[in-house]
Structure 1
Amino acid sequence: MIKIAICDDEKIILECMYNKIKKVTHKLYEDIEIKKFINGNELLVEITNAEHFDMLFLDIDMPQINGFEIANLVRKYNKEIIIIFLTSMDELVYESFKYNPFRFLRKQKVDEELVEVLTSAINSIEKVKEKQNIFNIDFGKVKLYLNDILYIECINRKVYLKTFNIKYKLLNTQFNNLINELDDKNFILIHRTCMVNLKYVFSINKLDIILDNKEKLPISRYRVNDIKRAFTLYAE
């Protein structure tokens, strides 16, 4: 399933965009869910409650919190989500670049540009979804992007997986098997019972590393050089 959120404070435009996106995506992809939000705070509540969206259509000019502010908050913990800005002000296109948008969609050109935008976005999402893994957890199964995993650790022979919002306890999972499976996918073993996604490493110290969410994890002094080398290669 691909999940899309549309946020615009003008109800008429919101309904219009919803209908246009629904019509186009119906022809492009079978399993699509679209949600509408009349203001940015409602959208952020959904996201912080662990709702996962693959694509955001954000009106830039909104009261309370504008599209740029929403994008800035979302980008702090999700670098992969596709953000498409909606606006009637062409002069804002350059300012939008700092939030790494997928597209800048002009409201007056929606009918001309929407098909190309959605086709490209869905193709991009499908490529990312190929990197998903299914994990067994307490209440069934969960499908996660590898890019959403901060780290995986083993405590008292139990394996735990940490995302920005949730810490899962994995069932029927051997930590050593995950080490082998994720070794070439930007994960690095920081000590014998914890491996971290290099994407979210903020800094490396002598005794620990700090992640983008400010969480601090101890590292083995024997692995410090290997960790720094892997981080440098990833950053390059």
Structure 2
Amino acid sequence: MIKIAICDDEMTFVDKINTLISEWSAQNQYFSVIQTFSNGQNLIYDIEDGQHYDLVILDIEMPAINGMEVADAIRRLLPDILVIFVTSHTEYALDAYELSIFRYISKADLEDKLRHAFLDAVKLIQIQQNDSYIIQNQNRLERIPCKNIMYITHEGKNSLFMTNLPNDSVYRERKTIQQVYQNLDHNAFFLIDRGCIVNLTQIISVKNNECILNGDIHLPVSQARMRPLKECLLTFWQSNL
């Protein structure tokens, strides 16, 4: 699933881009979920409330808050999001480059240029999604980038995914810790006791029967798992320097 936001104060362009993206998604058998916005502030609020997007297609000239400001704000919240500017104004190209924008497209060449940009973006998003954990609950399907998972603990019959995503998002899945662990890369995640899995990329030190994560998070490590954790962490650090 690819989650896309389209933001432009001119609804004729929003509708046109929505139609084009829907058509290209159907032609290429992509499952795209599209949300539209008529102003940038509502898009920012949506992301601040915990909504995640893989791709955002933005106009630059909008009232109240322009596309450059919107792109800067959402990149702080979702560092991996891809941004495509679609605009009638070409004079902002240098500023867009400095923001590491994925593509900058003139509305005069909309259909042809946007198609290529969208297909290229999907290829990159699919690569990113291959390194993700999919949470499946009765009424919900969500994707969490593995790099954003800090650790996983449990509450009753549920596993809780503690992440560094906006608003310190916590995700819940009705699976045991052992079931979750079976679906994770054991080179990147470690079971520090029967009820907790830690992301090795988040560990900054191990001492006194606990591991300390980014954000000064302290997690207890069972005595039996302490030595294997140190050995695994040393190997991980050496191979990723």
Q: Normalising to structure 2: TM-score of the pair?
A: 0.72
Match of 2:214 in 1: 210
Match of 2:81 in 1: 81
Instruction: Give the alignment of 1:63-102 within 5 angstroms.
Output: 63-102=63-102
Q: Does the CA contact (< 8 Å) of 1:61 and 1:67 recur in 2?
A: yes
Match of 1:16 in 2: 16
Q: Does the CA contact (< 8 Å) of 2:160 and 2:171 recur in 1?
A: yes
What RMSD over aligned residues (CA atoms) do the two structures have, in Å?
Answer: 3.7
Matched, 1:184 2:183: no
Deviation for aligned residue 1:14: 2.5
* In structure 2, C-alpha distance between the alignment counterparts of 1:153 and 1:26, rounded to whole Å: 36
What is the one-letter code of the residue matched to 2:181?
Answer: L
Q: 1:76 to 1:184 in 2, by over 3 A?
A: farther
Q: 1:17 to 1:172 in 2, by over 3 A?
A: closer
The gaps in structure 1 that reach 5 residues or longer are: none
Match of 1:52 in 2: 52
Deviations 1:178-204 (A, max 9, x none): 28933324x578x65451373x78x87
Which structure has the larger Rg over C-alpha atoms? 2
SS of aligned partner of 2:110: helix
Identical amino acids, percent of aligned pairs: 23
Matched, 1:122 2:122: yes
Q: Does the CA contact (< 8 Å) of 1:133 and 1:145 recur in 2?
A: yes
Q: 1:102 to 1:231 in 2, by over 3 A?
A: farther
Match of 1:145 in 2: 144
Match of 2:135 in 1: 135
Match of 1:172 in 2: 175
Q: Does the CA contact (< 8 Å) of 1:87 and 1:107 recur in 2?
A: yes
SS of aligned partner of 1:62: coil
* In structure 1, C-alpha distance between the alignment counterparts of 2:63 and 2:231, rounded to whole Å: 49
* In structure 2, C-alpha distance between the alignment counterparts of 1:170 and 1:25, rounded to whole Å: 29
What is the one-letter code of the residue matched to 1:210?
Answer: N
Match of 1:2 in 2: 2
Q: Does the CA contact (< 8 Å) of 1:160 and 1:169 recur in 2?
A: yes
Identify the range of structure 1 (221-230 vs 77-86) with the bigger mean alpha-carbon deviation: 221-230
Q: 1:143 to 1:23 in 2, by over 3 A?
A: closer
SS of aligned partner of 2:65: coil
The gaps in structure 2 that reach 5 residues or longer are: none
Aligned length, in residue pairs: 226
Q: 1:127 to 1:209 in 2, by over 3 A?
A: closer
SS of aligned partner of 1:50: coil
Q: Does the CA contact (< 8 Å) of 2:25 and 2:31 recur in 1?
A: no
* In structure 2, C-alpha distance between the alignment counterparts of 1:91 and 1:197, rounded to whole Å: 44
Deviations 1:45-79 (A, max 9, x none): 32233333221001122222222222222222322
